[in-house]
Amino acid sequence: MASIVRLADTGLPPLAPAPRLGWVTRALPIVVVFALALVLAILILSYGNPAPFGSSGYWTIVRSRSGSLATIALVAVCQAVATVLFHTATSNRILTPSILGFDALYVLTQTALVFAFGTAATGLEGIPKILAQSGLMVLFATVLYGWLFSGRRANLHLLLLVGIVLGMGFGSVSTFMQRLLTPSEFDVLSARLFGSIGKANLDYLPFAAAFVALILIFVWRRRRRYDVIALGRDVAVGLGLNYRREVVTILVLVAVLVSVSATMVGPMTFYGFLVATLAYQFARGDRHAEILPLAIGIGLVALLGATFVLKHVFAAAGLVTVIIEFIGGLLFLIVILRKGMR
Amino acid sequence: MTSRNAVVAPGRTAVAKRGRGPWPLVAAATLVVALIVVSLTVGVYDLRAQEFGSEMSWITRVPRTLALVLAGAAMATSGLVMQMLTQNRFVDATTSGTTEWAALGLLVTVLLFPAATLATRMVAASCAAFIGAMLFMTILRRIPIRTMLVVPLIGIMLGAVVSAVTTYLAVQFNMLQMVGTWFMGSFTAVVRGRYEVLWVVAIVTLLVFVLADRITVAGLGKDVATSVGVRYDLILIAGTALVAVAAGVTTVVVGFLPFLGLVVPNVVSMIRGDNVRSNLPWVCCGGIALVIVCDLIGRTIRMPFEIPVSMVLGLVGSVVFITLLLRQRRG
C-alpha cells in the first residue's frame, strides 16, 4: 500500500525522493508480468484444441481464437492507459474514468445519435462515423469534467459522488431514450452497445488497433511531462508546464480510449481501477515509464487469466467482466475504507 | 466541508418557517389528492366511454394508484429514517446498498424454492435487506472519521459488489432477463390481487410516525440519546428493520425506486428545517406526489406504451441530487 498512500489525493510530491534503482530492478516486474501474459496467451490459443497439432483444423481454431485475444489486448491497453493518465491529470488515485461515468456517457452518446438520426445513423459507417461519435463524446467529456475539476474547492469525495450519480443519471437517460426508439432503431443501437469478448466486431479491430497505437506513441513521448503533472498543479506550473493544456489533452485522450474500449466489450467500471491500483503496488518507482507498461501488463494478465480460468475450469466464459467487476469493486471498497480511516 | 456530522447543517435552523398553522399542509394534501384523481383518470382504457368502465377501474386504476401512494410514502419516510440513523443527509436505500441486498435475497429465494409464495419472497428479501443495512451500519461504525460524502460512497460500492453477485447468479441460472424485468421499478403490472401486500409498508410508515421522536434523538448520536433515556441500540435496530421491510416489500412488488428516499427528505428539510416529527407528513406528501408525477409522465409521454417509473425517477433524482451536492460545494 505504501505507494498508494504516498501520492494519494493530496497532490503533493512524494515525501522522500525515490531510491536510485538499477534498470534491471526496475524492469523486473514488467518483464515478469509480460512473460506471464505471453504464457497465458499461448495457453488460450492452444489449450483444449480438439484438432491434432499442425493440421489445418488446428490452425483454423487458433486463428478464430486470436480474434478474442486481440480484443483482450486492445481493451487492456485502453483501460490501463486511460486510468493511469486520468489519475495523473486529477492528481489522485481513486477517481477513474469509468467510475465517473465515462462509460455511461459513451452509451448515452450512442443512444442520442440513434435517437436523433434514427436508422440513418447506420449510413455513417467507417471512419466518419467513428470520428463523429468520438468527437461528440470528447466534446461532452471535456466540457463536463473540465468544469467539474476546475472548481477551487473541488473535493475528491464530492467529485466521486457527483460522478457516480452522473453515471446513474446517464444510464437512466439512455434507457429512457431506448424505450422511445422503434424496434429497428433499437436493433441498430444494441448491435453497437453490447459487445463482449467472445463476439467483438473484428472488422473494427485493425482500425482501432492502429488508432490506439498512435495514441500510445503520443503518450510515450510525453511520459516525462506526465511525471511532472503527477506532482500537482502548483509544482507543474512552477516547472514551466502549460498545465491546463496538458490536462485537457489528457481528458481528450481518456475519452477516446474509453470509447474504443466500450465499443469493443461494453462498459467495465472497476477493471481500470483494479489494474492501475495493482500497478502502483508492484511498481518500483513513480515514473510513467514504469507504471504505464506495468499497468498494461497487469491488465493483460487479469483479463487473459480470468478468460482462461473461467473457460476451462468453470465453463462460464461469458462471466469474465462480472468477475473482474466483483474483485475490482471489493478492492475499491478496501481502498476507500483505508482512506476513510486516515 | 470536511466532517459535518451534525444533523442540523449550518444555515438550516429548526425554527425556519414554522408556526403558520396547518394551512400549508392542508394545501399540500389537497394537491396530493388532486394528483391521485388525475392518476385515476389517465390511461389508455377510457373508463367512461367503454363498457366494464367501473370494473376496469377497480381492477387496475385503483390498485395502481394505491400502490403508488403506499410505495411513495414508505420509501420517502424510510429514507428520512436512514438519514437520521446514519447522521448523514446523503443516505437512503439507493445509496446504502439496501435495495441491492433485497434483490439478492429475492433471487436466491426464487432459485432455491421456485414454488415460494409472494409472502415468503417478501420475508426473504426483507431479511436480506436487513442484513445488508446492518452490515452497512457496522462498517460505518468502524470508520472513526465519517465525512459527509464517504458514507454514501461506501454504500454505493457495497451495492455494486452485491449486485455483481446477483448478476453472476442470474447469468449462471439463465435468469438475467427476468431479473431485469423484476427490478425495473414499474407499476405497470400492479393490478388487483398483486398489490395488497403493499399495505405492509403502510404499517411501516405508521410505526415511523410513532417512533419519530425517538429516532430524532437517536440521530443526535449514541451519547446524547443514552443520556436522555433513549435505548439507542434498540431504536437503531428497530429503525433499520423498518427500512429493510419497506425496501424488501417494495422491491418484490414494484422493483427499484431510485433516489426517492434521498431527494424528498432533503428538499423538505431545505425548505422547512429539521424537525422530524413536523416534517414527516410533508415527506409523505412529497414522496407520494413525486412518484405519481413520475408515473404520470411515464404513462403519458409515449401512449399507449409505458416508460417505467424508475427511469423517470432516476433522471429527475440524479439531477436534483447533483444540485444538492454542488450547493454543498459552494456553501
pLDDT tens by residue, B98-131: 888 988 998 898 888 888 787 888 888 888 988 9
Tally of residues, chain A? 342
Q: Taking the alpha carbons of A325, A329, A277, A96 in that order, is the dihedral positive or negative?
A: positive
CB B254 within 8 A of CB B71: yes
User: Is residue A22 pLDDT above 80, yes or no?
Assistant: no
Bond prior to B304 in cis (omega within 30° of 0) = yes
CB A83 within 8 A of CB A273: yes
Nearest chain B CA: its distance from A329 CA (Å): 6
Contacts with A170 (C-beta within 8 Å, 6 or more apart), sequence order? A101, A104, A105, A107, A108
Residues 137-176 of A with CB under 8 A from B: 151, 153-155, 157-158, 160-162, 164-166, 168-169, 171-173, 175-176
Interatomic CA distance for residues B276 and A113, integer angstroms: 46
Interatomic CA distance for residues A119 and A280, integer angstroms: 45
- State the first-to-last Cα distance of chain A, in angstroms, to the nearest integer: 13
Contacts with A52 (C-beta within 8 Å, 6 or more apart), sequence order? A58
3-state secondary structure string across A277-304:
HHHHHHCCCCCHHHHHHHHHHHHHHHHH
Give Dmax (Cα) for chain B.
65
- Name the strand (E) or helix (H) holding A186: helix A183-193
Mutate to test the interface with A, among B149, B154, B165 (most CBs of A within 10 A): B149
Interatomic CA distance for residues B107 and B255, integer angstroms: 13
Residue showing cell 389508455: B44
**Structure confidence at residue A342 as a pLDDT band (50, 70, 90):** very low
* pLDDT on residue A213: 92
| DSSP single-letter state for residue A152 | T
Mean pLDDT value of segment B275-304? 85
User: Is residue B136 pLDDT above 50, yes or no?
Assistant: yes
Q: Of A79-88, A293-302, A317-326, B279-288, which gets the smallest average pLDDT? A: A317-326
Contacts with A78 (C-beta within 8 Å, 6 or more apart), sequence order? A212, A257, A258, A260, A261, A264
Q: Where are the beta strands (DSSP E) in chain A?
A: none
* pLDDT on residue B186: 74
Amino acid letter, A154: A
Amino acid letter, A253: L
Mean pLDDT value of segment A34-49? 82
Contacts with B242 (C-beta within 8 Å, 6 or more apart), sequence order? B78, B81, B204, B207, B208, B211
Convert the pLDDT of each residue in B151-169 to its tens digit. 887 888 888 888 888 887 8
What is the CA angle A84-A274-A202, rounded to 5?
Answer: 80
* pLDDT on residue B4: 38
* pLDDT on residue A1: 35
Q: Of B42-46, B147-151, B270-274, B296-300, which gets the smallest average pLDDT? A: B42-46
CB A231 within 8 A of CB A288: no
Mean pLDDT value of segment A297-319? 79
**Structure confidence at residue B7 as a pLDDT band (50, 70, 90):** very low
Assess B146–A contact: CB distance below 8 Å, yes or no.
yes
Mutate to test the interface with A, among B140, B153, B330 (most CBs of A within 10 A): B153
Nearest chain A CA: its distance from B29 CA (Å): 30
Assess B42–A contact: CB distance below 8 Å, yes or no.
no
- Residue B302 to residue A175, Cβ atoms within 8 A: no
Interatomic CA distance for residues B149 and B154, integer angstroms: 9
Residue showing cell 405508521: B206
User: Is residue A116 pLDDT above 60, yes or no?
Assistant: yes
Residue showing cell 483444423: A57
Mean pLDDT value of segment A100-123? 75
Convert the pLDDT of each residue in A127-169 to its tens digit. 666 677 777 777 877 777 777 766 555 566 677 778 878 888 8
User: Is residue A103 pLDDT above 50, yes or no?
Assistant: yes
A172 CB neighbours in chain B (<8 A) are 258, 310-311, 314-315, 318
Interatomic CA distance for residues A219 and B118, integer angstroms: 57
| Burial zone of B176 (CB within 10 Å; 0-12 exposed, 13-18 middle, 19+ buried) | middle
**Structure confidence at residue A80 as a pLDDT band (50, 70, 90):** very high
Mean pLDDT of all residues belonging to chain A: 76
B167 CB neighbours in chain A (<8 A) are 322
Convert the pLDDT of each residue in A203-254 to its tens digit. 677 878 888 899 999 998 988 888 888 887 788 888 888 887 888 888 888 8
Amino acid letter, B4: R
Of all residues in chain A, what percent are helix, strand and coil, respectively (each to 5)? 75, 0, 25
Assess A194–B contact: CB distance below 8 Å, yes or no.
no
Q: Which of A124-128, A259-263, B183-187, B318-322 has the highest mean pLDDT?
A: B318-322
* pLDDT on residue A81: 93
- Residue A329 to residue B161, Cβ atoms within 8 A: yes
Mean pLDDT value of segment A311-324? 71
CB A98 within 8 A of CB A268: yes
Helix residue ranges, H only, B173-308: 176-183, 199-218, 222-227, 232-253, 260-272, 276-300
CB B234 within 8 A of CB B100: no
Convert the pLDDT of each residue in A171-217 to its tens digit. 888 877 877 777 777 776 766 665 556 555 666 778 788 888 999 99
**Residue bearing the bigger pLDDT, A204 or A331:** A331
Residue showing cell 445513423: A121
Q: Which of A74, A5, A39 is nearest to A299 (CA)?
A: A74
Mutate to test the interface with B, among A95, A107, A161, A177 (most CBs of B within 10 A): A161
* pLDDT on residue B55: 67
| DSSP single-letter state for residue A317 | G
- Residue A153 to residue B153, Cβ atoms within 8 A: no
Distance of CA A329 to the CA centre of its chain: 15
User: Is residue B261 pLDDT above 90, yes or no?
Assistant: no
**Structure confidence at residue A123 as a pLDDT band (50, 70, 90):** low
Which cell numbers hold the place of B315? Answer: 433522471
Amino acid letter, B1: M
User: Is residue A7 pLDDT above 50, yes or no?
Assistant: no
B161 CB neighbours in chain A (<8 A) are 326, 329-330, 333
Interatomic CA distance for residues B103 and B94, integer angstroms: 12
- Secondary structure (3-state) at A273: helix
Interatomic CA distance for residues A290 and A284, integer angstroms: 8
Nearest chain A CA: its distance from B140 CA (Å): 9
